[in-house]
Structure 1
Amino acid sequence: MIRSSKAGEGKDRHGPRLNGAAMASPIDELESLRARLQDTGAEISGSLFQERHTEVFDQYFRRSVQESPQCHALFRRGISFGFLAVGGYGRRELCLHSDIDLVILFDKRIPQEASGIVTEILYPLWDLGLELGYGTRTVKDCMKLAAEDLEVLTSLMDARFLCGDSPLFLKLAEKLQRKVFRPRSRVLVEKLLADQDARTQKFGDASHRLEPDLKEGIGGLRDYHHMLWMAKALLGLRVPRDLEVLGALSSSEYDQLCKHLDVVWQIRRHLHRLSGRANDRLYFEYQDPIAQTLGYPERKGFPPVEQFLGRLHEAMAGIKALHRAFVEDHVTSPSKQSVPVHVRGLPPALSAGKRGLSFGSPEAIPADPPLLMEIFWWSARSGMTLSREALRLVGEFLHLVDHRFRTKPQVSDRFLEMLRAPYLHQALEKMLESGFL
């Protein structure tokens, strides 16, 4: 990492004077705003913290470019350039110690003054001990690297204009969409699925781990990022809310996703604070302090840390389930979706296909509520999972699962029988995912 301890040597750190008083320089303002933001506790959500933290850096770059002599010189010479936030910074997901990833974009060539811009604007951030990842590139450079490298491609899919010449950014975005994203959409999806398999082997299922990786573990934030990238490639998604607008997720599923993400983001924020660095592995030593910070109460037989981990595992299981459902709906070949599968003895109110067990019709559930238990019993017995649509319907009819429902002999008997079934674990996992259990 390039670092300069003398970036501001010989220069006044204060900016212009207003009524005789020195205004804080961009870097001093950044330090002050970050310090105030770090002092906030559990009173602001994980998503709100990230938005505010991102805005602090946005403001720094915009002010710095506005006040930079090197940037003014380029503007006077008619040389177009732009600052782009990419990766997590582009997604507005800056956690406390996240890397700040940037592209300083030029049109056809990189002028000599580019190194001066780096010295003026980026060196002060390194002097604060911040982690920066940046590239000074032309439009052609970005196109070439995006076509060759998955990490570069996905970071540019998250690119967001900060300051400079916006038409230059739009030129890059249009070229990437036309020449890279669309033609290579299936290749991108295949690489993301391969990456998912590699993450499974390396990090495991975070929704069950005692020391989960909040970012790379299955059920972690990377599952969400994969959904966004695949939706951009296949559906033309522009902002996360489009997951609902484009029909990739239902309204209730999108709301669930936001709640699950906020749980993980909030915990990750406090993990960074306690670690004093970018750390996504929730080691035992951090779990009690975070549970206390987030206000989990003492309950007899149920310590705060267990409540805390239970909520985290629930959130990560939800993210994992929504990611898997998205892949099933939009990546799996449609020709395989409706192929029927024979399951001996399956009642007419249920059906089986390549996607799993389904209800014969939504109307059958309110007419016969014990079907909600029946489908899980058949899953535990046959080894077939519930289809995406079946899980949705279970969620929509959870209001039927009340005391009267649970005390029906037909329901309680099926549940006890299910506990002896060969595929019990799979059925219980789906019960948790759907909210039935």
Structure 2
Amino acid sequence: MSSFDKSLKEIEKELIQSKKKPKDLVLFYKNFLKKELHHLRMEGALGTSGKSIARKRAELFMVILTHMWEMALEQLFSPMAFEEPSVALVAVGGFGRKELSPASDIDLLFLYDPQKGAEDVIYELIHKILYFLWDIGLDVGHSTHQLEEIIAWANRDLQTKTALLDADLICGSQQLWERFQRIFEPSCINGKEKEFIEWRLEDLKEQHRKYGATVLVQEPNIKWGCGGLRDYQSLFWIARVKEKITQKEQIVSEKWMELKDWEKLENAYDFLLRVREELHFREKRKFDLLTLGSQGKIATALGYPQKDILARVEEFMRHFYDHALQIYLIANTTAQAIAAQKKGFLSKGRTSKPFGSFAIENHSLEVVNPEKLTENPLLILKAFSFIQRWGLKIGPTLKIQIKNRLHLIHANFLRRRDVRNLIRLIFSRKGQVGEVCRQMHEIGLLGKLFPEFAPLRCLVQHEFFHRYTADEHTLKAIEVIDSLLGAKEAPYKNFASLFHQLQNPFILYLAILLHDTGRAANRRKHHEELSAVNAMNAAKRLRLSAEELSDLVFLVGPTSFDGTDSRQTKSGG
């Protein structure tokens, strides 16, 4: 038992023995909460994990509510004729899964059975609890339902069903709580899995679109954005509904996720909870947008040591984006695999079209035998060539299998002629480069194919006109070039014919990919010279012709190293 838990037990004894008047009790609870929440604040400042602090805060409020419940029962019932009414106080949502940030909702469900006790007495008990909570300054979300009523409501409202997946008994009728547990799954989950999972995945997509559609926005939303807390939570809701997984570790033991990915996912989630903890403290309200104004304060509070505030923010945000990307990739990929019931290879009983080492499933490319990727890493590039050519998505199993084999993409591999030819092919398909680059970048492959690009991953840019990190800015620039193909509206239609006539789109796409690579080493000053050097290194590795090299450096670098247009000088202007 931790020292914090022992403290709660001691205070529990003190509260039970106290015979204070109502006004005294209100002040007592206010002071108690203030003191304990301050202790949690200090624990967080000393580096205690985000998950631990969130759990302890939930436990604190559960103890408070249990004491209030006991006091209310004593006031309403004679000790000699005491019979506990059939009502249970249940924590739902984040409170139920024991994850409370400083401004998180404290969501309560009063569950009752009117046939086992008078309704007027039950409502009086509920009112006493709520009034006392309000008196001590807590804003709680609450609902009161009979057992059959809440089950029916959960089947009409999927948000309610989601909250009940995390329900946990605080105090009250154990018998009624056990009845709820026996009824909930057969009534609300069994036979309704498909509806819930489809809604859950679509709701995630909608939230992602609302908050920028990428992890790498300048001001990310910690809860709802891509790679946010909700992505992680959705994975376990889907696992609970689809596979009856009730303990998170079962994700690993039942082979849905490798241990190293599980550890990355848990570390990332803990980091985001820690950031949210600090943000709520500073905002003094429920607020999950990591604004430019708050990033420096959070970085300082978390102990980032850089003396320069911009460097401090850059380091902090780079860590934030890296963790959010881990959640976005691992949680969503695993959720999709569980939804499709795919642990290792092709899912059973689903439509697939095998060809060679791959198969197409539901408009996604999947791998038939992952070991083939190890034997012949060129298949990794071929997979993305197929994805690009046929407009597919990378399937969840293939995504994980490639991610776990990125070590096979090394310098000697990149020097192979067949590798160079395949890279050229992928970057020569007009209008199709941006999406495949994004899919390769998500799993870290793009930085392996182009080591010059790798340092841009999650690199913060502090210019007003840059809304995204350097890597996301580059991907969006490539997507803009894609949009020129067949563009019919301004301003892109003015360039559509030029793009259509372009003989070698490979160089243009390559130039855009490399144009900002110098930023990683030289963020404060002009970076074009370093980007041009990176372009020359890539050109050498890719065996570009002299003319291609000249075009690439011209597009990436400054006009020329002496301030004049080198090609105009050579051609006489």
2:150 and 2:204 mapped to 1: Cα distance? 25
1:31 equivalenced with 2:34 (yes/no): yes
Q: Residues 239 and 335 of structure 2 are in contact (CA less than 8 Å); yes or no, is this contact kept in structure 1?
A: no
1:105 and 1:397 mapped to 2: Cα distance? 51
Q: TM-score, normalised by structure 1?
A: 0.81
Residue in 1 that maps onto 2:370: 362
1:431 and 1:127 mapped to 2: Cα distance? 55
1:48 and 1:379 mapped to 2: Cα distance? 42
Residue in 1 that maps onto 2:438: 429
SS in 2 for 1:112: helix
1:293 equivalenced with 2:297 (yes/no): no
Aligned-pair distance for 1:95? 0.7
Residue in 1 that maps onto 2:110: 104
Residue in 2 that maps onto 1:149: 157
Residue in 2 that maps onto 1:353: 360
Residue in 2 that maps onto 1:186: 194
Aligned partner (choices 218, 221, 242) of residue 213 of structure 1: 221
1:41 equivalenced with 2:42 (yes/no): no
By relative contact order (CA 8 Å, sep 6+), the higher-ranking structure is 1
Aligned-pair distance for 1:293? 1.9
Residue in 1 that maps onto 2:352: 339
Residue in 2 that maps onto 1:8: none
Aligned partner (choices 161, 164, 185) of residue 177 of structure 1: 185
> CA 1:403–1:49 in structure 2 vs 1: closer, same or farther (change >3 Å)?
farther
2:76 and 2:241 mapped to 1: Cα distance? 34
Residue by residue, what CA displacement relative to the aligned partner does 1:205-245 show, whole Å, maximum 9, x if unpaired?
25132222222233322223332222222211223333334
1:202 equivalenced with 2:206 (yes/no): no
> CA 1:361–1:117 in structure 2 vs 1: closer, same or farther (change >3 Å)?
same
SS in 2 for 1:304: helix
> CA 1:300–1:64 in structure 2 vs 1: closer, same or farther (change >3 Å)?
closer
Q: Residues 206 and 212 of structure 1 are in contact (CA less than 8 Å); yes or no, is this contact kept in structure 2?
A: no
2:336 and 2:349 mapped to 1: Cα distance? 10
CA RMSD of aligned residues (A): 3.5
Q: Which amino acid aligns with 1:250?
A: E
Count of equivalent residues: 416
Residue in 2 that maps onto 1:16: 17
1:337 and 1:168 mapped to 2: Cα distance? 41
Q: Which amino acid aligns with 2:293?
A: E
> CA 1:146–1:363 in structure 2 vs 1: closer, same or farther (change >3 Å)?
closer
Residue in 1 that maps onto 2:140: 132
> CA 1:383–1:104 in structure 2 vs 1: closer, same or farther (change >3 Å)?
same
Q: Residues 85 and 173 of structure 2 are in contact (CA less than 8 Å); yes or no, is this contact kept in structure 1?
A: no
Aligned partner (choices 280, 303, 312) of residue 311 of structure 2: 303
Structure richer in helix, relative to its length:
2
1:404 and 1:201 mapped to 2: Cα distance? 40
> CA 1:280–1:300 in structure 2 vs 1: closer, same or farther (change >3 Å)?
closer
Aligned-pair distance for 1:408? 6.0
SS in 2 for 1:213: coil
User: Structure 1 residues 384-393 or 109-118, which shifts more?
Assistant: 109-118
User: Structure 1 residues 63-72 or 81-90, which shifts more?
Assistant: 63-72
Q: Structure 2: where are the runs of 5+ without partners?
A: 1-13, 342-346, 448-573
Q: TM-score, normalised by structure 2?
A: 0.64
1:323 and 1:381 mapped to 2: Cα distance? 27
Residue in 1 that maps onto 2:538: none
> CA 1:310–1:383 in structure 2 vs 1: closer, same or farther (change >3 Å)?
farther
Identical-pair percentage = 23
> CA 1:95–1:300 in structure 2 vs 1: closer, same or farther (change >3 Å)?
closer
Aligned pairs for 1:35-434 (under 5 A) are 35-39=38-42, 40-41=44-45, 43-68=47-72, 69-70=74-75, 76-109=82-115, 111-298=119-306, 303-332=311-340, 337=350, 339-340=352-353, 350-354=357-361, 356-359=364-367, 361-376=369-384, 379=387, 383-402=391-410, 405=413, 418-419=426-427, 422-434=431-443
Q: Which amino acid aligns with 2:443?
A: S
1:309 and 1:324 mapped to 2: Cα distance? 22
Q: Residues 80 and 165 of structure 1 are in contact (CA less than 8 Å); yes or no, is this contact kept in structure 2?
A: yes
1:71 and 1:181 mapped to 2: Cα distance? 37
Q: Which amino acid aligns with 1:340?
A: K
Aligned-pair distance for 1:256? 2.6
Aligned-pair distance for 1:365? 3.7
